[in-house]
Chain A
Amino acid sequence: MDIAVLVKQVPDTYSERKLRESDWVLDRDAADAVIDEIDSKGVEIGLQLTEAHGGQVTVVTMGPDRAKETLRKALAMGAHKAVHVVDDAFAGSDALQTSAALAAALKSLNVDLIITGNEATDGRTASMPAMLAERLGLPSVTSVVGITIDGQTITAERVVEGGAANVTATLPAVVSVNEKIGEPRYPNFKGIMAAKSKPVAVLSAADLGLEPGTLGLANASTQVVSGSPRPMKSAGEKVTDDGAGGTGIAEFLVTQRLI
């Protein structure tokens, strides 16, 4: 079973993430760029499934040149090959355009299963798996905490706000993983060395057959109107408990009319 796993490079959630004050888009220089944790979990599930059922894992990313670091990380974990969707003409793409480019790349891979994260930590859009499934005419099995595949049948436990469900769908399909699905493996030294010689295919807009007049910020379906930084809260009063810490909070809440 051949699997494509989508991996996105995002600003590290441990650092202070910033928008550029000129155009309110992500300031790529402000924070370290890392593979989104959720996508490393996607890679892990992809590897487990190919270990059990055979086949190869291809990791796919769309992003600027340096996003290839993210592909290397996934290759070091054990993915077999990689696809980098990259073109200057993609700069400023919105979700609709990104889904069109990724869907074109995925179509050319012709895999049985596509795995993504359920929600990227930068945009929190949580829509890409469904958008890809819609473009490719496939089922979307989202936010799963466990998945098994038997022949052409996927069974999974899906967890979202308000409840969970056991669900089933037929391959080929798009599956998105929930962070509670388990921890990803760490690349070992051997994996890191092997990753250096694994194939990374680079696909441009022209390679994917995308119309130039549909690409990039100028043709995006959403546009920033304005932005503003929001002042963060600053520290208020801090007291050390002297035996009346709880009562002190209650008194504070009274002054704030909260109780």
Chain B
Amino acid sequence: MAEVLVLVEHADGQVKKVTGELMAAASRLGSPVAVVVGAAGTAAGLAEQLGAAGAAKIYAAESADPLELLLTPQVAALAAAVAVAEPVAVLLAATFDGREIAGRLAVRLDSGLLADVVDVAAEDGVVIATQSVFGGAYSTRYQVTKGVPVISVRHNSIEGAAPAVSSPEIVVLETTVDPATATTVTKWLPEEVGDRPELGGAKVVVSGGRGVGSADNFHVVEELADQLGGAVGASRAAVDSGYYPHQFQVGQTGTTVSPQLYVALGISGAIQHRAGMQTSKTIIAVNKDPDAPIFEIADYGVVGDLFTVAPQLASAVKARKG
């Protein structure tokens, strides 16, 4: 079966969840094959996890210090893998990094690029990718008519899993990066990863807006999120006011989320906020203003003070868990 290349996202010896989703997507189009970029020995270390995720084979591009150069090693690895594999498609995560790698790769391969797709399928041998446009107001299906389709796939949008493979073969790739194009990392400034689920993939998201009023008050949002086992999000106004760090922004220029449950606390529901959360399955809103636009898309809304409603909800959830 023809190969479908998946760029593996990994950190600290662990394959990230989105890679499993990409493998599942790849298995619909052909035989999923992993492309690993990392320090020497990385591919061997990840082989078992990648096999479990469905990788039939692993292409490994390993170097002394892969973390020092930003993204160009990944582009070189994918280009080298494409040359060997002649794949049906290349799949990457639709993160900023994934979309940047995809852009360079599409130019290098002179191939069609589809960004941030939410579904892929093979129809009569043609790869069809679905995009969700304007915050989910439209769904459009695209095909690539030139070269190898280079497709970035949104987090948490592909269901299912690829069948597991035991001990996938590792094929080593030789790659070089043009030093003229290098961006070098002088210092990583890692984010604190707490115990909460990652925002983009969380089943429950509890977000706070300007109505939360201060950084200190955000614990009200966090406590509800923790009772529901969810991630914490924030509106742009909350982020720009310094109440919560910017990687938690939900909306047009933040993360797009589509959880089972979205709880909006003190968020008015501006069109740009809705663009990042309106495809959530169930939406709950708490706002003092009965005319806040968030209520137009809320399945259940409470006109009230978030500082009394949210803690009461958190204790009701806690009581139910016993």
Contacts and interface: CB of A to CB of B under 8 A. Distances in A.
Interface in A114-156: 118-119, 121, 123-131, 133-135, 137-143, 155
Given A19-B133, A139-B182, A127 B100 contact: yes
B167 to A, nearest CB: 29
Interface in A225-259: 225-230, 232-241, 244-250, 252-254, 256, 258-259
Given A169-B183, A250-B316, A232 B297 contact: yes
A95 B102 CA distance: 11
Main secondary structure of the interface of A (DSSP, over half): mixed
Interface stretch (B31-39, B81-89, B106-114, B208-216): B106-114
Contact of A134 (B95, B107, B186, B260): B107
Sorting the interface of chain A by its residue count into under 10, 10 to 19, 20 to 34 or 35 or more gives 35 or more
B176 interface: no
Contacts of B70: 158, 165, 167
Contacts of B309: 241, 245-246, 249
Nearest to A247: B316
B195 interface: no
Nearest to B272: A13
A161 interface: yes
Interface in B87-143: 95-97, 99-104, 106-108, 110-116, 128, 132-134, 136-143
A104 to B, nearest CB: 13
A241 B100 contact: no
A80 interface: no
Contacts of A173: 183
Contact of B303 (A128, A229, A240, A259): A240
Contact of A221 (B103, B146, B247, B316): B146
Main secondary structure of the interface of B (DSSP, over half): mixed
A126 B112 contact: no
Given A125-B115, A222-B112, A168 B186 contact: yes
28 contacts: A18-B137, A19-B134, A24-B138, A94-B112, A99-B107, A125-B116, A126-B115, A137-B181, A141-B183, A155-B186, A164-B189, A165-B186, A167-B183, A167-B186, A173-B183, A220-B146, A221-B110, A221-B147, A222-B145, A227-B138, A227-B139, A232-B278, A232-B297, A235-B298, A238-B295, A241-B302, A249-B286, A249-B316
Given A137-B181, A245-B286, 5 more contacts: A134-B107, A139-B183, A221-B146, A235-B295, A239-B300
Interface of B: 11, 70-71, 75, 95-97, 99-104, 106-108, 110-116, 128, 132-134, 136-147, 178, 180-191, 200, 204, 228, 246-247, 252-253, 255, 260-261, 271-272, 275, 278-279, 282-284, 286, 290, 295-305, 308-317, 320
Interface of A: 13-14, 16-19, 24, 38, 94-96, 99, 118-119, 121, 123-131, 133-135, 137-143, 155, 157-169, 173, 179-180, 220-230, 232-241, 244-250, 252-254, 256, 258-259
